[in-house]
């Protein structure tokens, strides 16, 4: 890939963009896919019999197939949503409805690493079902504590476990295969839901090789696609048993006065006019990943992760809140600097045209209960970042520390 594929860097040549965990920049091919759709193929999907309607339906359904193939799933197992947050709300609501008749009190197991989008939807369901919520601890290396998970699986009646594949704060990667096997061996009925928002943009995920994973959510905008499009994957046999929570046009088979029957997968979960251009542009982003992100680009990002970690760790006033080795971690570095508020860090870096993020990154529990900090600063990388970006980050941080001393 080429940095020049991304017009934002031509428009802002001085920009050092290190806020990729929040959202990635978009290559021209993705931006053009949206414009092309509206200029050449715009029509609503599924309902028309004119040529344009057929064309837009084919483009939309081909995008579903591209995405399905990319993650090792079947097209019927791909539900388009607006993003990870909607995907997690959708699956929580559907499972809530599904388990609504079960009188027994069960537990929904989450982890201390979770984003608010993977906590609040489950709190709502636990409230409705009168179930309990529990959290798996993280260990001293900011990774998921597998022994603690094992203990909770043995001592609690866990019906659902919902966990991140990679933390948006610590960068810790959660070993899905090991966890999937552990969960299903201890508790075969437990459903496993995964928040893949941070993992999918940097890693190959093949769900056909992870049969224990029941549901998987991710967003398009963190992987070079547009905002407003995301995916909920669900195993076909499970999706068939679930009822949609969003009802209306496009998802029915027959409507009668009192009752209606629903369409087959995946339409039954996509009521209303979907984000057609978003789905098409997400498929373009995936084509870009497949065709333009080479082995060299992947190695470059890995080496840059290692380099960032080593250089950040070499600053005595700075603490990295995440695994201190580059194995099993992604390119996300949350840090605190002694006696300097993270917002001041982000503001100071912005004056040097370096975009990072400061705050609790939608993980108040992790910050308050584990880090004992209200906020951190976070630098996160993507394929277009260069060593020079990290050198500028480090130089600016060092200048800041000297200024505030
Ligand atoms: N989970 C994680 C781990 C995330 O990093 C994010 C985005 N910050 C989300 C969920 C929510 O994603 P979205 O805002 O695209 O719905």
pLDDT tens for 77-110 read: 999 999 999 999 999 999 999 998 666 889 999 9
Report the alpha-carbon angle 77-23-38, nearest 5. 65
Residue 327 clears pLDDT 80, i.e. is over it: yes
**Residue 69 pLDDT grade (very low, low, confident, very high; cuts 50, 70, 90):** very high
Q: For 16-39, what is each residue's pLDDT tens digit?
A: 999 999 999 999 999 999 999 999
- The helix or strand, by DSSP H or E, that contains position 255, with its residue range, turns out to be strand 252-255
Distance in Å, CA 305 to ligand 1 centroid: 21
pLDDT for res 101: 66
Active site residues: 362
Interatomic CA distance for residues 301 and 150, integer angstroms:
33
Distance in Å, CA 225 to ligand 1 centroid: 14
pLDDT for res 154: 96
- The helix or strand, by DSSP H or E, that contains position 367, with its residue range, turns out to be none
pLDDT for res 405: 79
> Is residue 83 a contact partner of residue 221, using CB atoms and an 8 Å limit?
yes
Average pLDDT over residues 331-336: 98
Ligand 1 pocket residue status of 170, Cβ below 6 Å:
no
Q: At what angle do helices 387-404 and 295-313 cross, to 10 degrees?
A: 20
Residue nearest atom 8 of ligand 1, based on CA coordinates: 22
Interatomic CA distance for residues 254 and 259, integer angstroms:
9
Q: For 259-313, what is each residue's pLDDT tens digit?
A: 999 999 999 999 999 999 999 999 999 999 999 999 999 999 999 999 999 999 9
> Is residue 165 a contact partner of residue 198, using CB atoms and an 8 Å limit?
yes
Look up residue 379 and give its two tokens: 């630098």
Give the global pTM.
Answer: 0.98
Interatomic CA distance for residues 143 and 176, integer angstroms:
13
pLDDT for res 38: 98
Residue 46 clears pLDDT 90, i.e. is over it: no
pLDDT for res 336: 98
Q: Cβ–Cβ contacts within 10 Å for residue 216, how many?
A: 27
Average pLDDT over residues 238-255: 96
Q: For 154-174, what is each residue's pLDDT tens digit?
A: 999 999 999 999 999 999 999
**Residue 48 pLDDT grade (very low, low, confident, very high; cuts 50, 70, 90):** confident
DSSP labels, 199-232: TTTTS---GGG-TT--EEEEESGGGTS-TT-EEE
Say how many residues make up the chain.
Answer: 405
Distance in Å, CA 154 to ligand 1 centroid: 30
Percent of the chain with pLDDT over 70: 99
> Is residue 275 a contact partner of residue 228, using CB atoms and an 8 Å limit?
yes
Strands 318-320, 332-337: pairing is antiparallel
Burial 350-363 (b: 16+ CB within 10 A, else e): eeeebbbbbbbbbb
pLDDT for res 334: 98
């Amino acid at each position: 890939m080429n940095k020049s594929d991304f017009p934002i860097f031509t428009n802002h040549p001085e920009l050092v963009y290190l806020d990729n965990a929040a959202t990635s920049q978009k290559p021209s091919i993705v931006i053009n896919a949206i414009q092309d759709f509206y200029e050449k193929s715009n029509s609503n999907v599924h309902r028309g019999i004119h040529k344009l309607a057929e064309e837009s339906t084919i483009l939309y359904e081909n995008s579903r197939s591209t995405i399905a193939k990319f993650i090792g799933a079947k097209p019927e197992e791909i539900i388009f949503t607006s993003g990870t947050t909607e995907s997690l709300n959708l699956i929580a609501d559907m499972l809530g409805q599904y388990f609504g008749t079960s009188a027994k009190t069960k537990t929904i197991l989450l982890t201390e690493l979770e984003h608010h989008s993977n906590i609040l939807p489950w709190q709502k369901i636990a409230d409705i079902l009168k179930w309990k919520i529990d959290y798996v601890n993280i260990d001293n290396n900011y990774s998921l504590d597998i022994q603690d998970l094992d203990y909770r699986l043995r001592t609690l009646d866990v019906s659902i476990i919902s966990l991140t594949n990679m933390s948006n704060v610590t960068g810790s990667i959660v070993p899905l295969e090991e966890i999937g096997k552990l969960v299903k061996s201890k508790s075969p009925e437990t459903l496993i839901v995964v928040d893949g928002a941070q993992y999918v943009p940097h890693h190959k995920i093949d769900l056909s090789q992870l049969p224990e994973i029941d549901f998987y959510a991710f967003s398009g905008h963190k992987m070079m696609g547009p905002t407003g499009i995301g995916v909920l994957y669900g195993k076909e046999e499970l999706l068939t048993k679930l009822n949609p929570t969003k009802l209306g046009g496009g998802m029915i088979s027959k409507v009668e006065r009192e009752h209606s029957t629903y369409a087959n997968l995946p339409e039954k979960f996509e009521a209303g006019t979907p984000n057609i251009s978003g789905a098409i542009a997400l498929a373009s982003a995936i084509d870009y990943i497949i065709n333009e992100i080479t082995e060299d680009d992947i190695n470059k990002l890995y080496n840059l992760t290692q380099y960032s970690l080593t250089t950040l760790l070499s600053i005595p006033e700075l603490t990295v809140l995440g695994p201190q080795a580059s194995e099993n971690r992604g390119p996300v570095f949350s840090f605190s600097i002694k006696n300097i508020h993270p917002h001041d860090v982000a503001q100071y870096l912005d004056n040097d045209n370096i975009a990072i993020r400061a705050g609790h990154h939608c993980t108040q529990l992790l910050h308050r209960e584990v880090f004992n900090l209200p906020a951190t600063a976070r630098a996160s990388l993507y394929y277009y970042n260069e060593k020079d970006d990290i050198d500028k980050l480090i130089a600016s941080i060092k200048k800041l520390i000297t200024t505030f001393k």
